[in-house]
Amino acid sequence: MVIETTVNIKISVRERLNNAARLTGLSHSALIRLLLRYIIKRHDNMIGHRKCIQYQEATRVRNWSKLHVMMQSRDYEIFLDLRKFCKRSVSFLVSSAIMLYLEDVVKEILGDSEREEGTDNYQFHHYILIRDMIDNVICWRIYWGYPKTLRL
């Protein structure tokens, strides 16, 4: 199932995404899905504990751009997980990923860098959410990828 959503990013960040889309021939949504992989691989330094959701720094309304994004429901669910674990809005995550990882993604697409092992253009086919009950306590296990040994 495809989910359509909207993120708000600064115009300057949107211009970077526009340039990358022109260079690679990919849509904004496709680039954002690829950026999602970079966030997942490097999420450790973004995890937030016991704090409120952070939003992007407020600036004048005319400095912002709405970006419509389409993605598979599993990719959208991962964004929602990242929002929860990183304590950042989805728009802030997208903007951060553009600023931090877009150059790496473009280089990889254009073949200008060493490709990471296991890298491909398909996103997270194996998103698993398992509900367990332990002594009347609900426990959730979330898998971003398919573990070699999985006990259901």
The pTM (predicted TM-score) of the whole model is 0.78
Nearest by Cα to 35 from 126, 113, 101? 101
Mean pLDDT of 120-129: 60
Which is more confidently placed, 129 or 122?
129
The dihedral of CA 95, 64, 81, 5: what is its sign?
Answer: negative
In terms of phi and psi (left: phi > 0; alpha: psi -120 to 50; beta: otherwise), the region of 12 is alpha
Domain boundaries, the chain: 2-113
- Tell me what pLDDT residue 151 has: 65
Mean pLDDT of 126-130: 77
- pLDDT tens digits, one per residue of 73-123: 888 888 888 888 888 899 999 999 999 999 999 999 998 655 444 444 444
- pLDDT tens digits, one per residue of 21-75: 999 999 999 999 999 888 888 777 777 777 788 888 876 667 899 999 999 888 8
- Tell me what pLDDT residue 69 has: 94
Query: Of the segments 7-11, 44-48, 59-63, 138-142, which one has the largest average pLDDT value?
Result: 7-11
